[in-house]
Amino acid sequence: MRAYDIILKKRNGEVLEKEELEYMINGCVNGTIPDYQTAAFLMAVYFKHLTRQETYYLTEIMRYSGDTIDLSQISGITVDKHSTGGVGDKTTLVLGPMVAACGAKVAKLSGRGLGHTGGTIDKLESIPGFKTNIDMTRWIEQVNTIGFAIAGQTANLVPGDKKIYALRDVTATVDEPSLIASSIMSKKLAGGADAFVLDVKVGSGAFMPDVDSAKELAKIMVDIAKKAGKEAVAILTNMDEPLGNKIGNALEVIEAVDTLKGNGPDDFTNLCITLGKYMLKMALSMDLKEAEKRLEESISSGKAYEKFLEFVQAQNGDIDYVVNPTRMLTNDGVYEMKAEQDSYLCKINTQKVGIAANLLGAGRESKDDKIDYSVGFDFLKKPGDLLKKDDKIVKIYYNDEIRLEESISTLKKAIRCGKKENVEKNQLIFDIIG
């Protein structure tokens, strides 16, 4: 077999055999195929796509390219949830404790920030002492005792995706549905859970900008899960504005704690309840109405908040920072961006908000950068809100004046104000697949 012939075959729009995909991925991981040939292969896939069967083969090849996790020691059905990536998306921090407080087992593998999107592992690490590199035996034990554990990906979990993803990132081949689906599902399947809730983001802050392309991605992922003998439901959700009000690692933990105490923003709380009820349906065969009621009770009774404290303590986090979360905000200053005239907040370009947060230091510019956990944004207004001149739109938590200036300039381009008829506001949930 030769990489050249496989690239040519895909470039000509032909369907590849499993062995040919195996040859490309294994060669890419072990270095026998040079990056320029893998990059050419990815570009051929970008233009000619993969069939559902090819996508499934690619997923399985990447799934078994390194270690896989065996969750058979966890009693009951384990559920995992994955978001395709967004801005202000702190869902796991609330969803995990809520669902676990209702009796389900959540074994969650999470990632760090990627591009303009944030990552759960970074958010949790803003709690002093919190450990995400726990070994698998302890992880499984914690799911059995507390019902909820989060671990970061180990070095040898799905190395095939790690290598391919890094190449896609620099060859403009990220946003091909078959490549996104196989990347996400290879990691989910290697993580070993029985059922998955997939939060497929749609809009300016997501990889899929419109409902049709997001639906296509959702169908491919659900199809892969089915072929692998697992259950999955994909929920298409709005990422055309930041989720909730707060963006930035410590700020998002603070908003998650507020939400667990029943004081969260409506959009974020509703999304957690929607995703959570499908997790309960799959884990405990619970009727959706009953699941919704139980999730709401987990908040009003304080049980979800208590579960979060238990979870943070189990993973070495200092719970005093959860009890008094503003202790995490060790900023030099807070800048308030105000409305220049009477108007409506028409639209927030969410990708630009993510970039502006990274400019402040909330994300990494290169892979070894240190994150500044305490910086970020607190939006006091959302699209559709009426603004009076000098009303505060967003508070910017910063530590460095130069970074602040760069961030303000990007943020100004992200926020559009104007007449009421120009307001762009989307529904929270677009569709449910599977």
Residue numbers annotated as active site: 82, 161, 168, 183, 187
| Listed residue (422, 423, 426, 415) closest to 210, CA to CA | 426
C-alpha 294/C-alpha 252 separation (Å) is 24
Beta bridge partners, 431, equal 236
Cβ(357)–Cβ(377) below 8 Å:
yes
> Nearest distance from residue 426's CB to ligand URA, in Å?
21
Spatial neighbors of 14 by CB under 8 A, at least 6 apart, are: none
Give the whole-angstrom CA distance, residue 208 versus residue 427.
Answer: 16
- In the complex, the smallest distance separating the C-beta of residue 85 from ligand URA, rounded to whole angstroms, is 5
Which is nearest to 11 in space by CA: 44, 46, 52? 44
64 or 165: whose CB is closer to ligand URA? 165
Give least dist CB 271 to ligand URA, A: 18
Residue with Cβ nearer ligand URA (16 or 221)? 221
Nearest 10 degrees: Cα torsion 69, 70, 75, 79: 40
Instruction: Give the DSSP H or E segment for 14.
Output: none
Q: Are 208 and 95 in contact, with CB atoms under 8 Å apart?
A: no
Q: Reduce the DSSP state of residue 380 to 3 states and report it.
A: coil
Provide, rounded to whole angstroms, the least separation between the CB of residue 36 and ligand URA.
Answer: 21
- Give the position of tokens 């559920």: 79
CA distance 43 to 23: 17
Residue 108: beta bridge partners?
150
Helices 266-284 and 249-260, packing angle to 10 deg: 70
**Residue 291 C-beta: closest distance to ligand URA, Å:** 27
Residue number, 62 or 356, with CB nearest to ligand URA:
62
- Looking at residue 285, what DSSP letter applies? -
- Tell me how far, at minimum, the Cβ of 84 lies from ligand URA, in Å: 5
205, two tokens: 């802050």
CB of residue 168 vs ligand URA: minimum separation in angstroms? 7
CB under 8 Å to 225, separation ≥6 — which residues?
185, 188, 189, 196, 231, 232, 434
- Specify the residue, 183 or 315, whose C-beta has the smaller distance to ligand URA: 183
Nearest to ligand URA of 130, 207 (CB atom): 207
Instruction: CB nearer to ligand URA: give 85 or 113.
Output: 85
Residues of this chain that interact with ligand URA (CB under 6 A) are 84-85, 180, 183-184, 207
Q: Are the C-beta atoms of 324 and 179 separated by less than 8 Å?
A: no
Evaluate whether 312 touches 322 at the Cβ level (below 8 Å).
Answer: yes
Token digits of residue 420: 């009421």
Please identify which residue in the block is written with the tokens 């994300």. Answer: 363
Cβ neighbours for 370, distance < 8 A, ≥ 6 positions apart? none
Rank residues 179 and 337 by Cβ distance to ligand URA and give the closer one.
179
Residue 201 or 381: the one with the smaller Cβ distance to ligand URA is 201
Which residue has the CB atom at the shortest distance from ligand URA? 183
To the nearest whole angstrom, how small is the minimum distance from the Cβ of residue 207 to ligand URA?
6
